[in-house]
Each structure stands twice: as structure tokens, then as C-alpha cells.
Structure 1
Amino acid sequence: MKKLYLGYISSFQGLSKEVWWLALITLINRAGTMVIPFLSLYLTQKLSFTLADVGWIMTFFGLGSVVGSWIGGKLTDKIGYYKIMAFSLLGSALSFVALQFLDTFWSICFGIFTVMLIADMFRPAVFVALSAYSKPENKTRSVTLIRLAINLGFSAGPAIGGLIITNMSYGGLFWVDGITCFFAGILLLNVLNPKRAKVLDEVKNNAPKSAYNDFPYWLFFVSMILFGFIFLQYFSTVPLYYKEIFTLTEDEIGLLLGFNGFLIFLFEMPLVQFFEKKAWSNLSIVMIGCFLTFLSFVVLNISGWIGMLVIGMILMSFGEMLVFPFSNAFALNRAKRGNQGEYLALYSISFSVSHILGHNSGFHLIDLFGFEFTWYFMIMLGIIACLLLYYLNRRVIIQGND
């Protein structure tokens, strides 16, 4: 037991002080964005919008994320990651507070689009900052630490948000969101001043290449959209499957989804450290993670035994633990070829596109063809993603630039 504990602690060692500050800022920021999990409830119960209206508003949510990631990447290359992160955090603070004063359909659409545009400018900028503040050999673990902060933030946020709604109403939620984003921005300005922070891997490229002309990277982009499409089902259609087919209660569904966060907290850092020691490419490990994720849908169709839900969640969780850190590491390494902001913006946009397409398509497939067909469809997409990653990995190995 002591050996396991020491191994777990050692997986966090060697990361720079700046990376730990970035993780704390991300934790505060993500815990603060507690409006998001309650957005559909707020729109239907508080503002009395129809489900069709909410669907369109969530489309603007996704579009704002795509545009924000793209602009954030472009501006990061032009004026630097530090200014973009600061603008995004402080701008999010104002936009979250302002959002509560909008109550018509089109004003909400514009408002949520603007909020996500400003908020998701942070994503490519923080990845470029992470690359700068990490030694090359620590980058995958640095990404994993940020993911751990995001997961902890998303776990704490809804719980705190529920208490705020109960005691202060939805208005309090917007104010707390704004205050936490503002606090994260102030913390960034004070602890990560570029004049004092130690840059460990400054990439200088006198002839930067555009990510948009990098064909292998576009294959990677498509494979991440496909992975995101199937992965996101666990946060939209799969809970409905738990409810309608296995008649689980909301508490039981919450525990099962919470099990995912517990597994990530417990195993992701040691798992990443273990795979980093293997002489495997980043894309090979991503392919394994993608395989485990679509395998989680295979087990859902194998049997009606309730234990398959737990097995499926375990497979998906371990798949997620491999795909996100090592796909991010591939993107960071590839970004050294050219404009880092462009490369990392495309990486972020791939998951934004998955959000736009995945949830809505999953619900429509279930409505038309049922759960079993939908899970087979997800399996097919997973196989295509794995084949793309296999081809890409072979191509990258030949070119020698992973």
C-alpha cells in the first residue's frame, strides 16, 4: 500500500511551479463555470423556453466555442498566450454576470455565443502556456495535471451550484460564476507575470507552417471529432439509457457518472507515467484509448446484466485517460512545426465540433432506431477513428515527426 502511495505521489513530481499555478487557475475557473450544467434547467424553468428553443441555444453555445477557440489560437500566435488568458478570464467574469439580464430568445442566443467565444479563447492559450512552462519530458504529465484540475472543478461546480440555486436563486449562480472567473484572472496576473515566470521550452520557428496546410494533422483532427462524438454520449444519451432501460434513479446515475471522476482522480497520473516509460508513440496510445472507449459500447450491447454498466464505465474512463493526455501531447509536439496557437486551436475546435454534432445526433438516432442501433453506430465510428489513427501513426513514423 505504501509503495502504491509513493508511486502515486512520484507521478506528480518534477512539474514546474508555473504548471501548478496554471492548474490552480484552471481549477478555480472550471469550478466557477457552474452555470453550464444548469443552463437547460435555467432556460426551461426560469425563462420558460421550449426544448426546441433550448436546442437552438445550445447550438449557439457550440458555435461560440468553435469561434472562440479559433480566435484564441490566432491571437495567441500574434500577441502571446498571457494576454489572451488574462482577457478571457476577466472578460468571462463580465459576460457571465451580464448573461443573467438577458431574457429573450435571440438575446440569449447572442449572449451564450459571446460568453463561450470569450471563455474558450482560454483553451488554446493555456495549452501554449503549458508547453512553454513544461520541460519536454514532462509535457504529457503537465497536461494530465490540468485535466485533473478540470475534472475536480467540474465535480465541485455542480454541487456548489445546486446549493447556490437553492439558497440564492439562479441569479446568484451568475454572480458567483463571474466572481470566480475574475478571481482566477487576478491570480493569473499576480503569479504568472511573464517577466517573472520561468519559461522552460520556448519554441522559436523562423519559418512557421500553417496548421491548415498540414494534411496529417487534419486526419488527427477528424479522428478526434469521431472520438469526441462517441465519448460525449456518456454525458447525454447514456444517462438516458440508464434511466429508460435499467430504470436507475437520478442518484444512482449520478453515482455511476461520479465513478468516472473518481477513477480519473485515482489512476490517470500513474497511468500516464506508466505509458510515458513505454517506447510507444503518442498516437499508438491514443489508438488504445479510442479502442477501449468504443469497446465500452460493445459491452452495453452484449448483455442486459446491470454489471455491464459498471464495466462500460470503467472501459470508457480508462480510454479517456489515455486519449486526452496523449492526443494533447501529439498536438503540442506537432505545433512546434508552425503556429502553435493555430495547431492547438484546431485541437480544441475538434471537441467543440463534437459537442455540436454528438449530443443532438445521439438523441435523434435513439428516437429513430433505439439504443442498440445507436450503440452499434458509435462502435462503427470508434472503429473508423482507430483505423484513421493507425494510418496516421504509420505515416508519421515514416516521416519521423511525431
Structure 2
Amino acid sequence: MRTVRSWFRDTAGGLPRTFWYLWTGTLINRLGSFVLVFLAIYLTQARGFSAAQAGLVIGLWGVGGAVGTTVGGTLTDRWGRRPTLLTAHLGAATMMVALGLARPLWAVALGALLLGTFAEAARPAFGAMMIDVVPAKDRLRAFSLNYWAINLGFACAAVLAGLAAEAGYLLLFLVDAVTTLVTALIIFFRVGETRTVAVTAPTGGAAPRGALRTIAADRVFLVFVTLNLFGAVVFLQHISMLPIAMSDAGLSPATYGSVIALNGVLIVFGQLFVPRLIRGRSRSHVLALAAVVMGVGFGLTAFADAAWFFGITVLIWTLGEMLNSPSNATLIAELSPAELRGRYQGVFSLSWQLAGAAAPILGGLVRERAGDSTLWLGCAAIGLVIAVGHLISGPARERRATQLRAPATPVEPVTARRAPAPEAAEAAAIAPAEPVRAPS
């Protein structure tokens, strides 16, 4: 019993109260994250669209997400974390209902575009707020706990959504909208602004001019983002092409929900042990191994023809995802200068949105023109390329992280602007996602 208490204290103890409010909001939001999980099935079965048209709609969700993360990152630094989060969540809840009521292809496509914009605008603000309130020494634990909440909600949502879809697809959109609103209420009542603004800043607290030029010149960071982009293209096939492949194999939406729920279940039971497993190990080696395991998992989908076989592939690539997530998050935190934290978060999230736009379109084209086997074996090949990329670029990333790393003190939520002491401003020159997991 003492060992269990010690493990729990080491895993969850000592984290700020604001983190736990954010964690709770994440869990509630993900418990209702029905729509994107079943969007491909909904578009092809309920709306009667082709696989290519479904891929286009999901791709437009990704395009909207790319716009949302870019705008959200800028607003996070200029306007503040809290107002950006509230606006994004309220807009996403509204567009969720609108998408559920849309019928013509153009209306569905427009709804997906706008929903992606609002939903993904929250990511940079959420990531920046997490870094603001959690000390650097606790971030690996915090990000793992948050990812655990995401996947606990996802596992439950996948099963419940499969049952709800049989009762009526509109219910998926309504429940998703309600949980998004509940998250917004938690932020409104319990989470204050966490951005520290210098009163002497000539732009009124905005990030320095030339921020995009700074990011564009940061080759170490951009290489990391590019590797994440390719990894996300592979990973997001579980939302776009996997449900279609399982449907072609004669499996029902409820079966897909149960199979994909294995992803969340494995993470729920195993993710909290990952930080201790990878602590002290080379992050580049961990990320390379994660890419190989994920590629193998998706590659084996080429041979799957039954629910149990699809389930095994999901469990394999989930192991890669579990290794990838905490290392990714801590690296983004350490590669992001404090004054550009929101924009760095936005650019990293942008890689997910670009993948969200490209993955269903490329997956649909490859599947229709070259077949399922080519699609899934191609995913395995991309995983190997990503692994090599991490091994080559890893040393430069760690040198950059060491240069930016300095003792950092988390700030409590503030409602008024205050200037940090010169020592604090200098020490804050470090800075992750979702999660990262699929957009929702």
C-alpha cells in the first residue's frame, strides 16, 4: 500500500490547482468527443458521400484547423490565454450543432472548415497555459497526466459513440457540443489568465515584432515540426481510412468503436508508467523507437481482415503513440522561448492541422488508385524514415534545449497586468500538445 501511495504521489502530487482545472476540462471534453471519431462513417453511410468526398470534408476540417492554430497562437500571445480558450470553445460548440444539421455537401464542407478553425484555435492557448502554470521539472508528469485524461475520455467516447450512432448520428453532435460548453464554463469560473505581461512593452504586452521571422529562421524547431507532420499523416489514418477499411471488411460502426477504444484503454492503463520508463533515456532514441513501432502497427493493417486482427494493429501503434507523446511535449516546451510561447505552440499545432488536411485526402487517393495494401505499407515506410530523421536531428535539438533551459518559476493566474522582475524574465527563456491526439 505504501508503494502505491508513493507511486501516486510521484505521479500526481504537487501539481498546481490550475492544472487540475484544465485537466478536468480536458477529461469532460474528451468524454463527449464523438464527432471526429465517427465522421468518416457518418459521411459515407448517413450522408451517402463517397470515400473521396468524405476525405475532402475531413481535409477541410484540417484546413480550418491550420487557420485556427495560426490565429489562436497569435491571440494567445497578444490577447491572452483565457479569452482565446473561451472564444474557441464557444465557437466550436456552436459549429458542432451546425455541422450536425447540415445536409448538402457544400454546407457540410463549410461546417467542417469552421468547426476545425474554432476547435483548433484552443490548442495553442491550452498548451501555453499548461507551460505557464507547471514548473519545468514537473512538465513530463503533467503532460502525461493530461494525455491520460484525453485517452480515458477517448476510450469511453469511442464505445459510447458507437452505440449512440445506432440511435441517431445527430446525438453525437449534440453531446459533443454540450461537453465543449461545460469545458468553457470550467475555464470561465475557475481558471484565471496565466500570461504575465510587462507593462513596459511598447506593444502593450504583445509578442515582439518579427515573431514569424524568428520561427522561420529556427531550423532546429522546424525540422522537429516537419518530422511531427509526417508522423501525424500516418497517425491520423486511424480516423480517416481505418473506419472505411473496417467497413469494407464487413464490420459495423459499433465494432469500429470497440476496436478503436482499445487505443484509449491501453493508454489509460499504461501511460502513467511511461514517464518512469523513459526518464533519463535519450529523447531522440525514444522518438525514433516510437516512429518504428507506430509504422509497424499501421503497416500490419494491410493484412487485417477481422476485428481481432484490427485490434492487434491498434494496440501496436498505440504503444508507439505512448512513447511519442511525453517526449514530444517536453521538447516543444524546451524549444519555445517564453515570449513566443503561444506562437511556437501554434506552429507545432499547425503541423497537426496540415496533417489533418492531407491525411484523409492522400489516404483516399492512395487507397482508390493503389489499394489498401499500398496505403498501409506506405505508412510503415514513412515510420522508418521518421525514425532516421529523429536520430540524425536529435543532438542539435538537445543542444538548443540546453541553451534555452533555465530555472523557471510557474506563475499563478493573474487578472491584472504586472511586469516580471528582470531575473524572472531572463529565466523564463524556455518554454509543450495534443496532443496530442487527433483534433476534436
Same-fold status (TM-score > 0.5): yes
Question: Using the alignment, how far apart are the partners of 1:234 and 1:6 within structure 2?
Answer: 36
Residue 337 of structure 2 corresponds to residue 336 of structure 1: yes
Task: Determine if contact 1:100/1:171 at 8 Å carries over to the other structure.
Answer: yes
Compared with structure 1, are the counterparts of its residues 5 and 377 closer, same or farther at alpha carbon in structure 2 (3 Å cutoff)?
farther
Q: Which residue of the partner structure matches residue 269 of structure 2?
A: 266
User: Can you list the C-alpha shifts for 1:115-159, whole angstroms capped at 9, x where unaligned?
Assistant: 211111111110000001111111122122222222222233344
The CA deviation at 1:41 is 4.6
1:1-400 matched pairs, under 5 angstroms: 3=3, 7=7, 10-44=10-44, 46-162=46-162, 164=164, 169-194=168-193, 210-238=214-242, 253-276=256-279, 278=280, 280-297=281-298, 312-336=313-337, 338-399=339-400, 400=402
Question: Using the alignment, how far apart are the partners of 1:261 and 1:110 within structure 2?
Answer: 30
Identity %: 22
Task: Determine if contact 1:236/1:359 at 8 Å carries over to the other structure.
Answer: yes
Q: Which runs of 5+ in 1 are unaligned?
A: none
Compared with structure 1, are the counterparts of its residues 258 and 179 closer, same or farther at alpha carbon in structure 2 (3 Å cutoff)?
closer
Task: Determine if contact 1:283/1:393 at 8 Å carries over to the other structure.
Answer: yes
Question: Using the alignment, how far apart are the partners of 1:128 and 1:238 within structure 2?
Answer: 32
Question: Using the alignment, how far apart are the partners of 1:166 and 1:313 within structure 2?
Answer: 23
The CA deviation at 1:102 is 3.5
Question: Using the alignment, how far apart are the partners of 2:147 and 2:89 within structure 1?
Answer: 18
Compared with structure 1, are the counterparts of its residues 215 and 9 closer, same or farther at alpha carbon in structure 2 (3 Å cutoff)?
same
The CA deviation at 1:325 is 1.8
Q: Relative to total residues, which structure has the larger helix share, 1 or 2?
A: 1
The CA deviation at 1:358 is 2.1
User: Can you list the C-alpha shifts for 1:47-106, whole angstroms capped at 9, x where unaligned?
Assistant: 554544433322211111111111101111111111101111122222223334433332
User: Can you list the C-alpha shifts for 1:1-55, whole angstroms capped at 9, x where unaligned?
Assistant: 9846853564222322211110111122233342333434544555554544433
Task: Give the alignment's TM-score, normalised by structure 2.
Answer: 0.77
- The RMSD of aligned alpha carbons is 3.5
The CA deviation at 1:219 is 0.6
Task: Determine if contact 2:232/2:352 at 8 Å carries over to the other structure.
Answer: yes
**Structure 1 stretch 209-218 or stretch 60-69: which is displaced more?**
209-218
Question: Using the alignment, how far apart are the partners of 2:255 and 2:161 within structure 1?
Answer: 20
Compared with structure 1, are the counterparts of its residues 173 and 266 closer, same or farther at alpha carbon in structure 2 (3 Å cutoff)?
closer
The CA deviation at 1:265 is 0.5
Task: Determine if contact 1:70/1:345 at 8 Å carries over to the other structure.
Answer: yes
Task: Determine if contact 1:283/1:330 at 8 Å carries over to the other structure.
Answer: no
Aligned length: 393
Compared with structure 1, are the counterparts of its residues 7 and 56 closer, same or farther at alpha carbon in structure 2 (3 Å cutoff)?
same
Task: Determine if contact 1:283/1:389 at 8 Å carries over to the other structure.
Answer: yes
Q: Which residue of the partner structure matches residue 407 of structure 2?
A: none
**Structure 1 stretch 337-346 or stretch 35-44: which is displaced more?**
35-44
**Structure 1 stretch 310-319 or stretch 386-395: which is displaced more?**
310-319
Task: Determine if contact 1:8/1:270 at 8 Å carries over to the other structure.
Answer: no
SS in 2 for 1:14: coil
Aligned-partner residue type, residue 360 of structure 2: H
Aligned-partner residue type, residue 229 of structure 1: V
